[in-house]
Amino acid sequence: MNPRAYFENFFQRNGRALGTFLLAVVSVWILILILAPQLFMVDFSFRHNLPPAEIGGAKDTYTLEHYKFMVYGSAQSQGSYNTVDLGVFLRTLLAALFVTMFDLAICYPVAYYLAQSASGGWGRLMVLSLIVPFWVNEILRAFAFRILFGTTGVMNNMLMAVGILDQPYDFIREDVALYAGLGYAFILLMIFPLYNAIESLDKNQIEAARDLGASWLRIHFRIVVPYAKPGISSGCTMVFMLTAGALAAPQILGGPSSLWFTQLVFQWFNQGQNWNRGSAYALVLLISTIVLVTIAMKIFKVRLGDIGK
């Protein structure tokens, strides 16, 4: 459908007044709240960090110094690499991947049970029990996890009471609290795409496979997982990108050696007062996550339209 025919059909379905209003709101949302900040960030990332009086002057030219700093640690020196920032960047991406796989492993059986087994009041109670905790602010939930996994917290007291631990274990320093908090923070973004995909699966297909002697493992890998692939892709994409870009949870739950890449971005913007370098770091993180998600979609043969269903 060509653009002109699409808009004519759009106005016929929604009316001229409502259609114009909807297009205006969507245009403002996309142009002002999404595209404009990203374009300003791109422009900032390629400019020198100058005093306000020199912005727009002769020194205000485009440069790659901020990207070179991330790779080499200095815009001039290219003999050694900036192992600290690059290490934090790689560790953040790997941690985000781990949290994504952790959430998928936990949420898949829950989503399957909700979609195929739970019904009536019990099903509604389960959904409500998943949603209600997220009425609490994200920062408060992060502090709750810090209390839960603290050296004098519930987890240590319980494990010592049953004899598993002889002394308190530092869950904060070992990043257990961080990964648990991040996994819980985005768990709904994994469960509901999976639920929406699995819920529409015809139960007769599962019954037919069981009648033919297929094991539960074979049923899931041959029937349920391929059918739910768009939901899996959607959930994994949202969890991965939001985990890589998280700030509150790493700040509160992270140990001394668990610096998150977004914390570096925050430091350059706020403590270093270098918005240009912070923009460069943020842009690298954004592009890297998009590239990784695109590669994963190609490998698993998932189209963008499938995720948007």
In this prediction, residue 153 carries a pLDDT of 87
Residue 71 shares a structural domain with residue 130: yes
> What mean pLDDT is predicted for residues 183-206?
90
Residue 10 shares a structural domain with residue 156: no
Q: Tens digits of per-residue pLDDT, 209-243? A: 888 888 888 988 999 999 999 899 999 999 999 99
Nearest-angstrom CA–CA distance, 171 and 159: 12
Nearest-angstrom CA–CA distance, 60 and 40: 15
* 117 in a structural domain: yes
3-state secondary structure at position 144:
helix
Residue 137's pLDDT band (boundaries 50, 70, 90)? confident
121-129's contacts with Cβ under 8 Å and 24+ in sequence apart are none
* 56 in a structural domain: no
Cα torsion for 193, 195, 197, 203, to the nearest 10°? Answer: 180
* 170 in a structural domain: yes
Residue 27 shares a structural domain with residue 162: no
Nearest-angstrom CA–CA distance, 165 and 293: 40
* 48 in a structural domain: no
Residue 16 shares a structural domain with residue 120: no
Residue 157 shares a structural domain with residue 301: yes
- Measured between alpha carbons, how far apart are the two ends of the chain, in Å? 19
In this prediction, residue 306 carries a pLDDT of 64
In this prediction, residue 109 carries a pLDDT of 93
Residues 6 or more apart whose CB falls under 8 angstroms from that of 186 comprise 99, 103, 238, 239, 242, 243
Candidate from 4-18, 54-68, 269-283 with smallest mean pLDDT: 4-18
Q: Tens digits of per-residue pLDDT, 144-190? A: 999 999 888 899 999 999 988 889 999 998 889 999 999 999 999 99
Domain hosting 3: range is 1-37
Residue 192 shares a structural domain with residue 260: yes
Nearest-angstrom CA–CA distance, 36 and 273: 21
Residue 28 shares a structural domain with residue 135: no
Residue 5 shares a structural domain with residue 107: no
Residue 8 shares a structural domain with residue 110: no
CB atoms within 10 A of CB 119: 9
Rounded to 5°, angle at Cα 22 from 17 and 26: 150
Q: Tens digits of per-residue pLDDT, 82-131? A: 899 999 999 999 999 999 999 999 999 999 998 887 777 787 888 888 88
* 44 in a structural domain: no
Nearest-angstrom CA–CA distance, 59 and 269: 21
Nearest-angstrom CA–CA distance, 107 and 113: 10
Rounded to 5°, angle at Cα 29 from 27 and 32: 90
Counting Cβ atoms within 10 Å, is residue 115 exposed (0-12), middle (13-18) or buried (19+)?
buried
* 123 in a structural domain: yes
Residue 2 shares a structural domain with residue 151: no
Whole-structure pTM value: 0.88
Q: Across the chain, what does the average pLDDT equal?
A: 88
pLDDT at residue 77 greater than cutoff 60: no
Cβ–Cβ < 8 Å for 47, 60: yes
In the block, residue with structure tokens 């422009």: 43
Cβ–Cβ < 8 Å for 107, 187: yes
* 52 in a structural domain: no
How many domains is the chain partitioned into structurally? Answer: 2
Cβ–Cβ < 8 Å for 48, 60: yes
